[in-house]
Chains A and B, each alone.
Chain A
């Protein structure tokens, strides 16, 4: 079964979150917080915004297909 791209994107986001959790257990020097603030947080925020917009659009496409069947 083919999964929707937005759901695969969410899964990838969770994997990156997990990777960050794992990395931050061992990497906690002065650069860690700066990396989080300057790079990771904006990346996760932008990714979540995109995936939410993609989810809404995919929901609409599914509804359009269902509503115009037959």
Chain B
């Protein structure tokens, strides 16, 4: 660009770039917020599934313990019966423990995300303010500069 108006063209190009930047970053910020909501909902759905799974495992473990208690009571009254294995509930107990651990793991992530998101909101709010208020003012400032340069050139032109 070698024209005498190269500076004006450069300013116009910069202003257009700032307008595009404002729109694009607004979209970025909106997608960021949406992503937080999606992952929070996903974790809540997982937690809900594991809570239901934990309840089922606890019920199965409880039923097993009841069978074991009945078997123990029967053995005490009638003496051991050949071929009867003792009721083993260790698998159910392990399942309860695993479900509890998965649920706890999800709960820890939920807490971390809540804390980090809350901290992030301050930065996001400042950036949103910059996009909505500061940047339009900057664009206006550039437009004023462009107009004043154009006006000055028009004044100079006849005698140039």
Contact = CB atoms under 8 A, between A and B. Distances in A.
Contact of B13 (A6, A23, A56, A60): A23
B36 A25 contact: no
Contact of A47 (B27, B102, B120, B127): B127
A68 B43 contact: yes
Nearest to B23: A12
A46 B25 CA distance: 12
Nearest to B30: A5
B8 to A, nearest CB: 8
Interface residues of B, number: 45
B13 A5 contact: no
The dominant DSSP class at the B interface is: helix
A21 to B, nearest CB: 10
B67 interface: no
B130 A46 contact: yes
Interface stretch (B73-81, B86-94, B104-112): B104-112
Contacts of B21: 12, 15-16
Interface in A15-70: 15-16, 19-20, 22-29, 31, 35, 39-40, 42-43, 46-47, 49-50, 53-54, 56-58, 60-61, 64-65, 67-68
Interface of B: 1, 6-7, 9-11, 13-14, 17-18, 20-21, 24-25, 27-29, 31-32, 35-36, 39, 42-43, 46, 102, 105-106, 109, 112-113, 116-117, 120, 123-124, 126-127, 130, 134-135, 138, 141-142, 145
Given A12-B20, A12-B28, A54-B32, 14 more contacts: A5-B28, A9-B24, A12-B24, A22-B14, A26-B10, A27-B7, A43-B130, A43-B138, A47-B127, A49-B127, A50-B123, A64-B39, A64-B43, A65-B39
